[in-house]
Structure 1
Amino acid sequence: MAQILELGEAQFTPPAAAQFRILLIDCDELHARQVSAWLADRADMQLTCCAPGADLQRVLYADPWDLIIANLDEVALAALPSALPRLGGWGVPVLGIVRQLGVMNIRAALSQQVDNVLLRTYSCSELLDQIYTLVHEKREQRARQRQVTLAVGAHPDDVEIGCGGTLLKKRAMGHEVVVLILSRGAKGGDVNLRLEEAQQASMLLNATLKVGDLPDSQVPEGAQTIELIERVVREVAPTHIYTHSSHDSHQDHRNAHLATLAAARHTPNLYCYQSPSSTTDFRPNLFVDITDHMDKKVQMIQKYHSQVAKHAGLDSAYISATARYWGRHAGYGLVEPLEIIRQLDR
């Protein structure tokens, strides 16, 4: 039976600090100043104001918000970017603000999937009551809906190169993140050094790191690898798994892909990432915007000092250029491409 080395377990805490991160979407400066004044002295709240224009999508992606407060008046809604999903589709509670409870405003609230509505005549205490209620309800719901992401790589550094930004994004969303490395990378250098580098990278990610002892360059596709991955799957019960693509010229990567498919047959969300050895048959159909996590992804990869000097695929300029190339599929940001094997989350 293959052994699994445990190299430290992350301390998983909610991604939010003590403060509630609140986004106010409003083109009415007077109203925005009023809300800002009410919340300015609240040590447990951090307010960001944004007009409902072209920059809104970037702001929405910038932070894992705890609450969105949105002006639902006709002028404000008309200014929302047409490509933007409904405000209630971001997985964040939405508090709508309206001048009156007319048919148009109720329709707007339903179309934007808001959680509650306040009339513009609301008081500070009413606003605070809604903030605390909606945020706490959502946090309790998230606690009940534990999300765990498992990333499988054949060698140290595979995961960081292929989906490091996606993992950082998942971590920011509150997912627990576990990294499983199938071999210890003996063909690429000193094993102890490579494991130390992997541990440093996982610390930046705040992930739990597990390392198998399958032979480097001879990772099998069959029972031994499947059983190793299955043990970790049973232990952490992942809701999302990321692994190698079958469209890869490295035999360890292809075999890791096949073994993961067998071991993860009951996992609802399964994706394959690109590696420097991927072939032209790699056909991504999911493009994850990692613009806000790119710098940290590069930092994670740079922890593999022993490999950076030897492999062009670990060069920070190459990593950034690859992300920019795929960004044409997602608004020209910085992107990690993925092949969807199975996706039940929407």
Structure 2
Amino acid sequence: MAETLRSHGASHVHCVGSVADFLSAGAVPPAPVRLWDVAVWDTGISGDDASLTALLDQWRTGVPGAPVVVSDEAPSTRRAMAALRGRAADMVERGDPDGLVAAVARVLENRADPLRVEGARQAGPRMLVVGAHPDDVEIGAGGIIHRRAHGGWGITILTLSGGANGGDPDRRREEAHRAAEVLGAHLIMENLPDGSISDDSATVRTIERAVAEVDPDVVLVHSESDTHQDHRAVHRATLVASRQVARLACYQSPSATVAYQPNRFVELSEADLEAKLSAIGAHNSQAASRWYLEEELLRSTARYWGRFSRTRYAEPLELVHDNTPLGYYPADHA
């Protein structure tokens, strides 16, 4: 396996023989490696389904920026589901070196562009970004929105409340439209009750209408790991409303908890970051009074996440589902 990867251009391949060594090398890469681009785990080292999922969970917690390809002697649907539960990036058969190389190449390409959409429509991919309140999506994904909008994507922001608890709803609506214009996005604003948004069928139907209108390839939304009740409700309702969408990921809010576990990092240019700051600044009824909207903090946060993608700036995402099948083996269903 190591020689196969080296022969296809891998500059550094480090081999281990135990779970402990795998996790240790992930957390503290041996010199001269600073960060891992990808890891390959062979189930022959330690391999029942439960331990595989647990191992992948441990790796993701300790090394969130490095995806894992799983190699197995005779992959089954059961084993593939264990890998999927642990959010493995791909699964290959141990005796297929070409398959391993192809899987690693796909993972690296996806890491460079985590929201890349296979077979996107000719007019360009579409992304729907859902937030509970005005300014939520700008804070969590403003750089991504700008980057995609200026890369030919169609971007729609769905804001579910007018933010009445944070100020005059009419003013906040005007600010939201200005911010969307700065980022190059179309804005849909609903009028659900700020502070008491639920995840009931009415909220699901509201989001479903936007999904039907936009027909997105990608949906971004709040994470479940968030202390704000509206954010959690919108997350749950969006999961239901977007169940047929190819890819769904969660952005980080200021109220996200330490349980937020990003596994994708989208590179931002200086222009993307400046556009994000300008869009947040457009919410001037909030920007002057919210400590978490200070420019220094926003800039340093983007700089911090950049370390996981070897770029200067990045925004994190927690990928929840992706329609790319991890593995389906007809022999299991004969």
**Could you say which TM-score interval applies, normalised by the shorter chain?**
0.5 to 0.7
C-alpha change, 1:170 and 1:235, in structure 2 (3 Å) is same
Q: 1:157 aligns with which of 135, 142, 165?
A: 135
**How does the TM-score come out when normalised to structure 1?**
0.58
* Aligned-partner SS, 1:329: coil
Q: CA deviation at 1:309?
A: 1.3
1:247 is the counterpart of 2:231: no
Once superposed, which parts of structure 1, at least 4 consecutive aligned residues long, lie more than 3 Å away? Answer: none
Q: Aligned partners of 1:208, 1:181: CA distance in 2, in Å?
A: 11
Letter in 1 for 2:313: L
Q: Aligned partners of 2:143, 2:320: CA distance in 1, in Å?
A: 19
On the 8 A contact 2:127/2:154 being kept in 1, the answer is: yes
Structure with greater strand share of residues: 1
| Equivalent residue, structure 1, for 2:300 | 321
Q: How do residues 160-239 of structure 1 correspond to structure 2 at under 5 angstroms?
A: 160-239=138-217
Q: Cα deviations across residues 292-336 of structure 1 (Å, max 9, x unaligned)? A: 311111111100100011111111111111111111101141110
Q: 2:278 aligns with which of 299, 316, 324?
A: 299
| Equivalent residue, structure 2, for 1:59 | none
Q: Aligned partners of 2:168, 2:132: CA distance in 1, in Å?
A: 16
- Which consecutive residues of structure 2, in runs of 5 or more, have no partner in the other structure? 1-36, 38-104, 106-118, 326-334
On the 8 A contact 2:150/2:184 being kept in 1, the answer is: no
Q: Cα deviations across residues 111-155 of structure 1 (Å, max 9, x unaligned)? A: x9xxxxxxxxxxxxxxxxxxxxxxxxxxxx976263111000000
Q: Which shifted more, 261-270 or 285-294? A: 285-294
| Equivalent residue, structure 1, for 2:76 | none
Q: Cα deviations across residues 232-253 of structure 1 (Å, max 9, x unaligned)? A: 1011101110000000000000
Letter in 1 for 2:284: H
Q: How do residues 252-291 of structure 1 correspond to structure 2 at under 5 angstroms?
A: 252-291=230-269
* Aligned-partner SS, 1:149: strand
- Which consecutive residues of structure 1, in runs of 5 or more, have no partner in the other structure? 1-82, 84-111, 113-140
* Aligned-partner SS, 2:152: coil
C-alpha change, 1:174 and 1:332, in structure 2 (3 Å) is closer
Q: Cα deviations across residues 72-94 of structure 1 (Å, max 9, x unaligned)? A: xxxxxxxxxxx8xxxxxxxxxxx
Letter in 1 for 2:317: L
Aligned length: 211
Q: Aligned partners of 1:297, 1:228: CA distance in 2, in Å?
A: 26
Letter in 1 for 2:126: V
Letter in 2 for 1:148: R
Q: Cα deviations across residues 265-289 of structure 1 (Å, max 9, x unaligned)? A: 0000101000100001000000111
Letter in 2 for 1:305: N
Q: Aligned partners of 1:289, 1:147: CA distance in 2, in Å?
A: 18
Q: How do residues 76-87 of structure 1 correspond to structure 2 at under 5 angstroms?
A: none
Q: Aligned partners of 1:242, 1:345: CA distance in 2, in Å?
A: 17
Q: Cα deviations across residues 45-74 of structure 1 (Å, max 9, x unaligned)? A: xxxxxxxxxxxxxxxxxxxxxxxxxxxxxx
On the 8 A contact 2:158/2:187 being kept in 1, the answer is: yes
| Equivalent residue, structure 2, for 1:51 | none
Q: Aligned partners of 2:171, 2:276: CA distance in 1, in Å?
A: 20
Q: Aligned partners of 2:236, 2:174: CA distance in 1, in Å?
A: 28
Letter in 1 for 2:180: S
C-alpha root-mean-square deviation of aligned residues, in Å? 2.3
Letter in 2 for 1:342: H
On the 8 A contact 2:145/2:185 being kept in 1, the answer is: no
Q: Aligned partners of 1:186, 1:317: CA distance in 2, in Å?
A: 27
Q: Aligned partners of 1:166, 1:175: CA distance in 2, in Å?
A: 11
Letter in 2 for 1:235: E
Q: Aligned partners of 1:343, 1:166: CA distance in 2, in Å?
A: 18
Q: Aligned partners of 2:253, 2:121: CA distance in 1, in Å?
A: 34
* Aligned-partner SS, 1:144: coil
Q: Aligned partners of 1:143, 1:254: CA distance in 2, in Å?
A: 31
Q: Cα deviations across residues 157-185 of structure 1 (Å, max 9, x unaligned)? A: 00000001111111122110000000000
On the 8 A contact 2:221/2:249 being kept in 1, the answer is: yes
**How does the TM-score come out when normalised to structure 2?**
0.60
